[in-house]
Amino acid sequence: MSKLHIYTRVSSASQEEEGTSLLTQKEIGLARAKQLGLDPKVWNEGGQSSASETLQNRPVLSQLLDLIDSGQVKHLFVYNTDRLSRNEQTWHLIRLKLVSKQVVLYTSGGQFSLDSPMDKLLLGIMSEISSYDNLLRSERINLGKSERIRRGGWQGGPPPFGYKVEGKRLVEETFESCWVRFIYESYRDGKSIQRIRSDLLLNGVKTRRNNSSWSLGSIEKLLQNTHYGGYYYVTLPGSDEKVRCQSPQILDARLVSDVRERREKRSHKNRTSQPNQKRFYLLQGLLKCSECGLVMGGRLFEAQYRSYYYCPRKERAFAKDPTLPPVKCSNRVYLKIHDTNDLVWKTVVDVLGKSHLFKEAVKKEASLKFRMGGGRGQGRAKPGGANP
């Protein structure tokens, strides 16, 4: 029995929780399958925002398109064409797949045979209307967000360490703000970031993500944050305009100024010094010990033609590194550098070569560069393949 593939999606999580829109799409699709005498198969994407109309956040649709590419889908139902996409480029890509594989498209309003010139024209008009409606909706949303930001509202997302959000506005989080002050004062008094991280670990201070061990980068970013001085800048949604917003000031201006001056002096000193790294390892900083989580190091013995990745916890503990978290580790596994690099490289190449999402992202980027360059100096693409 031939199948009718029913694709359902709503454009927000709230609609998904209510369930009415998804349920309506599914019921109409099942009724159409019964009417056509086809076996229904439901593909539920759930709640996915229409703000990002790409295939990267549509795993269910990507899987369905793979089946279309392989010729396993001949009948497809969507409640409306905008369930597939409101974006002109994405919809064009989907439509090409449907046409090339001779897929019959069904909607709540009727049936479209994509080899018919009239049906293709109607679908093109519907796609343009959906794209226009999506642009208007995005503009209204961005205007609302911009107005809320101008009035001092929080733009969304997790607040910086030392703050919390109440009534859509930033307010001080007293426990965290005490440690923000401690970090700034410690840095002003000459402590290194490594020593500050060790102090935070010894005092059991956890990051916003509830991690016991702070990274050096997170402390560095905290020292660069202007929120603590009473202001920050936000780029308004949908534009390049930056506005200065007020935030609760939890550090005095003198302390912030002293830290900024010390950071500039240390930054200048680091720029004039030479890096002390002698070797380059392909996977340096990417491998972690499976037992203690410490970043693995590399070691090369040229005379013996040996090289390997290993967990450096034992030697760092022997050197009494103050930044080393007190976690025991008995891992004595050594990974040969050449074999490990070769395995990781072949795996990455294999995954990217078979990834539908990666291919579509590359095509989109190449198309964008071609349009920005006006198509000058490039040949016309050949059907079914890229330019040589």
Summarize pLDDT for 324-361 with one digit per residue, the tens: 666 678 777 788 888 888 888 888 888 877 777 777 77
Fold exhibited by the domain 3-147:
Rossmann fold (3.40.50)
Q: What is the pLDDT of residue 319?
A: 59
The yes-or-no answer to whether 3-147 and 152-272 have a common fold is no
Q: Is 130 exposed, middle or buried (0-12, 13-18, 19+ CB in 10 A)?
A: buried
Q: What is the pLDDT of residue 274?
A: 45
How would you label 240-275 residue by residue, b for 16+ Cβ within 10 Å and e otherwise?
A: eeeeebebeebbeeebbebbeeeeeeeeeeeeeeee
Q: Which residues of the chain have pLDDT under 50?
A: 13-14, 16-19, 271-275, 376-388
Give, to the nearest 10 degrees, the angle between helix 59-69 and helix 356-372.
90
Residue ranges of domains in the chain? 3-147, 152-272, 281-375
Q: Is 152-272 in CATH node 3.90.1750.20?
A: yes
Q: What is the pLDDT of residue 364?
A: 74
User: Which residue is associated with the tokens 């203690």?
Assistant: 292
Q: What is the pLDDT of residue 131?
A: 62
Residue 311, helix vs strand vs coil: coil
Q: Rounded to 5 degrees, what are φ and ψ at 350?
A: -65, -45
Closest CA relative to residue 50, chosen from 9, 110, 105, 104: 9
Q: What is the pLDDT of residue 216?
A: 86
Summarize pLDDT for 146-160 with one digit per residue, the tens: 677 777 777 777 888
Q: What is the pLDDT of residue 388?
A: 35
Radius of gyration for the alpha carbons in the chain, expressed in angstroms and rounded: 28
